[in-house]
């Protein structure tokens, strides 16, 4: 049995209608609402074929049909058209992310996540940059009092680590500025794996006379950068699921909220290596997410992927609109992180 043009048009109409109404679609509905130029009986026969081919399924209590995961997959890969956002939506995305440009990176990312949830009416999730995969952008030593120094590490992905170390003696601000310059000359643009014995020995020579400071900051440096964290998980709009008829069943809603509460599973759902990733139902291989879809994307600093952001919801989500919103949010997020907050000019 072949997937010809007529079947494709019928499948596309059924999916579009089901996404809008959440009601199983019958042949009469398609004949009345969509000008396909064929009778209701012909549509019914084609729908039966599409069901046999695995693109549609029939709920037990309904004469109509709804898309299967296989049907949704064909739809997102070949059939849907990505709409252009309205000027108002583009303005909101650009200006709300830009408004947070001077804040710490996590604040920028949280705002982008809230924006994504608001514009899609779905639950948005984000994985923040991991310090262990980041590169040192800048370090600084600052006086706190006669015995203590603040050791600040800023990474290229916007992570800031503040550590108090004991100096052992009073060191002037001018000397700390000089020592900071030495540290930056040796450590800038290195990650944890690149800070090897040669780098440490060179630093030790450069900091001769300030062994107490050297001995205090090296363990802190390693501890800060070798943290085994994979980034934090934030989410917005968890209660948006109650706007969808699929989750009026209390057990189904409880299962979805339980999934959101499992950070390991959510991290697995976000795991993406492409610009836009779409996982439908069982494609995620995550227990509890069999009836969910996830649309996610990586966000970058200077073309280097540092985290993932996306939305999760029922398989009956408006994929084309979600993809359009996500692509615009990620584009603005990349611009802010690269060109404003972390530009090296």
What does the mean pLDDT of the chain come to?
88
Q: Which domain holds residue 240?
A: 87-130+230-341
Residues 247 and 322 reside in one and the same domain: yes
Task: Judge whether 278 and 295 are in contact, CB under 8 Å.
Answer: yes
pLDDT digits (tens, 9 = 90+) for 146-199: 888 999 988 887 778 888 988 777 888 898 999 999 999 999 988 877 888 999
Task: Judge whether 11 and 47 are in contact, CB under 8 Å.
Answer: no
Instruction: Enumerate residues 6+ apart whose C-beta is below 8 A from 296.
Output: 125, 269, 270, 272, 276, 277, 279, 308, 309, 310, 311, 326
Residues 272 and 186 reside in one and the same domain: no
At 345 the pLDDT is 43
Run of H or E including 57: strand 56-57
Which CATH number covers residue 44? 1.10.10.10
Task: Judge whether 171 and 149 are in contact, CB under 8 Å.
Answer: yes
The pair of three-digit structure tokens given for residue 319, joined into one six-digit string: 């994929």
Residues 241 and 330 reside in one and the same domain: yes
Residues 126 and 244 reside in one and the same domain: yes
Residues 214 and 183 reside in one and the same domain: yes
Last residue of a domain, one of 177, 202, 225: 225
Residues 70 and 207 reside in one and the same domain: no
**Cα separations (Å) of 16 from 30, 217, 263, 320?**
10, 59, 32, 10
Looking at the chain, how many residues does it have? 345
Expressed in angstroms, the distance from the first to the final Cα of the chain is 60
CB atoms within 10 A of CB 47: 23
Residues 126 and 136 reside in one and the same domain: no
Mean pLDDT of 55-63: 83
Q: What crossing angle do the helices spanning 319-335 and 105-120 adopt, rounded to 10°?
A: 160
Mean pLDDT of 45-59: 94
Which CATH number covers residue 163? 3.30.390.60
Q: Which of 280, 241, 278, 315 is nearest to 19 (CA)?
A: 315
Which CATH number covers residue 93? 3.30.450.40
pLDDT digits (tens, 9 = 90+) for 220-255: 888 887 765 667 889 999 999 999 998 888 888 999
Last residue of a domain, one of 62, 79, 96: 79
Whole-structure pTM value: 0.81
At 261 the pLDDT is 92
Task: Judge whether 150 and 162 are in contact, CB under 8 Å.
Answer: yes
Residues 193 and 52 reside in one and the same domain: no
At 221 the pLDDT is 87
CB-count exposure of residue 294 (10 Å: 0-12, 13-18, 19+): buried
Mean pLDDT of 5-17: 95
pLDDT digits (tens, 9 = 90+) for 252-297: 899 999 999 998 899 889 876 668 999 999 998 899 899 999 999 9
Residues 333 and 234 reside in one and the same domain: yes
Last residue of a domain, one of 15, 50, 79: 79
At 230 the pLDDT is 65
Residues 65 and 173 reside in one and the same domain: no
Q: What are phi and psi of 278, to 5 degrees?
A: -125, 115
Angstrom distance (rounded) from CA 291 to CA 316: 9
Task: Judge whether 55 and 69 are in contact, CB under 8 Å.
Answer: no
Question: In 3-state terms, what secondary structure has residue 100?
Answer: coil
Residues 217 and 236 reside in one and the same domain: no
DSSP one-letter string for 145-212: SSSEEEEEEEETTS-EEEEEEE-SS---HHHHHHHHHHHHHHHTT--GGG--HHHHHHHHHHTTT-HH
Total number of domains in the chain: 3
Split at pLDDT 50, 70, 90, the class of 135 is confident
- Is the confidence at residue 102, as pLDDT, over 70? no
Angstrom distance (rounded) from CA 157 to CA 11: 44
The pair of three-digit structure tokens given for residue 108, joined into one six-digit string: 């920028």
Residues 272 and 326 reside in one and the same domain: yes
Angstrom distance (rounded) from CA 50 to CA 44: 10
């Amino acid at each position: 049995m072949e997937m010809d043009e007529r079947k494709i048009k019928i499948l596309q109409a059924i999916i579009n209608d089901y996404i809008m109404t959440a009601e199983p679609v019958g042949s009469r509905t398609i004949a009345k609402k969509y000008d396909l130029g064929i009778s209701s009986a012909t549509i019914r026969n084609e729908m039966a074929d599409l069901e046999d081919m695995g693109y549609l399924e029939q709920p037990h209590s309904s004469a109509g049909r709804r898309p299967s995961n296989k049907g949704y997959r064909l739809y997102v890969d070949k059939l849907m058209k990505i709409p252009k956002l309205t000027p108002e939506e583009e303005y909101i995305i650009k200006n709300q992310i830009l408004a947070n440009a001077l804040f710490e990176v996590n604040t920028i990312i949280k705002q982008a996540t809230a924006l994504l949830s608001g514009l899609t009416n779905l639950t948005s999730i984000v994985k923040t940059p991991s310090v262990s995969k980041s590169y040192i952008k800048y370090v600084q030593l600052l006086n706190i009092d006669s015995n203590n120094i603040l050791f600040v590490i800023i990474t290229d992905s916007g992570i800031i680590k503040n550590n108090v170390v004991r100096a052992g003696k009073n060191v002037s601000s001018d000397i700390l500025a000089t020592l900071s310059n030495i540290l930056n000359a040796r450590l800038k643009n290195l990650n944890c794996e690149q800070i090897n014995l040669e780098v440490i020995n060179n630093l030790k020579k450069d900091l001769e006379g300030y062994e107490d400071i050297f001995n205090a900051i090296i363990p802190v440096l390693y501890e800060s950068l070798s943290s085994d964290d994979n980034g934090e998980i934030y989410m917005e709009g968890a209660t948006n699921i109650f706007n969808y008829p699929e989750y009026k069943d209390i057990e189904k809603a409880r299962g979805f909220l339980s999934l959101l509460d499992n950070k390991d599973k959510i991290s697995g759902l976000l795991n993406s290596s492409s610009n836009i990733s779409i996982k439908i139902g069982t494609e995620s291989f995550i227990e509890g997410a069999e009836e969910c879809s996830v649309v996610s994307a990586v966000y970058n600093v200077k073309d280097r992927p540092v985290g993932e952001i996306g939305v999760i919801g029922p398989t009956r989500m408006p994929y084309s609109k979600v993809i359009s919103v996500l692509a615009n949010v990620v584009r603005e997020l990349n611009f802010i992180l690269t060109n404003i907050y972390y530009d090296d000019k």
